[in-house]
Structure 1
């Protein structure tokens, strides 16, 4: 008779908390770069879409998807081999970037509550679906089931996180406040991810064959390198791009000399 191991045997921090901190740092860095890109997009007409695309890659690709993938390295299931479905993982990456880009486009340049809500819901659905697909790509010796209740909570949290992030991207100006907003975004990603992880229910069959797919580290390590190198493009663009805030308001009436 084959022995089955319960879901409680899956260790979320099976390889220590260092992996979780690395994932959090990626979320914060991706958000910080994205906020800077959105700031430039606000005052750029010609290159607005390019700035928003870089912001979507930084926020959705690195700050969300790559951070979640790195955090997955911390999950350990004793006496069971784990593999990763690359197709599902890649789909989650694309959805994360597209969802963030859609949210940024819908929310517009200036804070408008209806657009922020619609953009936040759109972006939140993308983040929630991406997180679900990233976790659903896990394969173990046995089966992995999901709790619909925790998945629903995760999606709701992702919607709230997305709406707050879009609002912050539009109204936050000082650099130190962007850092604070990025730290809060990282905490939001942590909440979405670990709520989704709580939805996973592992049933392990040590006697079954090793599942198809690749070892997670074999996917995450090259993606980590690519993501780190990929951030150099928006970071370089932010550093060398001219500040368009003054030229973006040509219609603003000039004040008389001496006016207060």
Structure 2
């Protein structure tokens, strides 16, 4: 029998938190991409793809897998397939964002949602294929179909949020929902998996690396990379803030320079002495 919560609720809670953080960064990067143009637009799009595909989806998946155990069986991970699953999520999410981010319409949204949802499913089952055990794994088609449906809906909603939402309140709310949807898709797929131990299983461990040897450095490294990239987002927000002179130019009506023919004359307070009064010619 499989144990999806071998370490209690700590692993699912951590996986959900990482997915929410990745979703928040991805949506913030996507909003920045919509507000810029040229090379910087593609820079923000790449960061959004890495955050959504690499952190919100891929990192969440393998953090959750750290709590997955099969009683009496050792689990190892194939390094190549693990990396391929992560690259799949990032590339597909980037393609989906490029489809709908800069020209949002219903047709592009549905197409990009299908592309992203299919990529998320491919990432999930490629990650499952990277598991090496002394036995065979089987997947219930019913739960596979439910997981695919959840992935398609979640990906479409995520891309709708990425192409339309602005403002911290909206992005935070969408990130919480997206983290829940990604977690739901993962555990739905895991419920339909069955592992049968081989009759003459060897006593040694299967080939591959343990979850802590392979997954923990990859996940932590990717997460640290995203935190560093988020500094660019904070610096970009600081650059967008109006400087003191710009705020003065766009301040109250009394401080604005008139645009008509009448020359601009500064207004003084009642107790303030005008400098030109001392130099005005006497009549």
Q: Under TM normalisation by the shorter chain, which class is it?
A: 0.7 to 0.9
Structure 1: gaps of 5 or more residues: 1-8, 245-256
Partner residue of 1:137?
A: 130
Task: Please report the TM-score for the alignment, with normalisation by the length of structure 1.
Answer: 0.87
Q: Is 1:25 matched up with 2:22? A: no
Q: Deviations over 1:104-134 (max 9, x none)?
A: 0011325310010111111111111101111
Partner residue of 2:273?
A: none
- Which 4+ runs in 1 deviate beyond 4 A? none
Task: Please report the TM-score for the alignment, with normalisation by the length of structure 2.
Answer: 0.80
Structure 2: gaps of 5 or more residues: 242-258, 260-283
Deviation at 1:207?
Answer: 4.6
What is the aligned counterpart of 2:101 among 100, 104, 108?
108
What is the aligned counterpart of 1:73 among 56, 59, 66?
66
Q: Counterparts of 1:101-250 in structure 2 under 5 Å?
A: 101-205=94-198, 207-209=200-202, 210-241=205-236, 242-243=239-240
Partner residue of 1:6?
A: none
What is the aligned counterpart of 2:27 among 32, 35, 38?
35
- Alignment RMSD (CA, Å): 1.6
Q: Deviations over 1:144-175 (max 9, x none)?
A: 11223322221221111111011111222120
Question: Do the aligned partners of 1:135 and 1:197 also contact (CA within 8 Å) in 2?
Answer: no
Give the total of aligned pairs: 237
* Separation (CA, whole Å) in 2 of partners of 1:154 and 1:243: 41
* Separation (CA, whole Å) in 2 of partners of 1:182 and 1:104: 16
Q: Counterparts of 1:51-70 in structure 2 under 5 Å?
A: 51-70=44-63
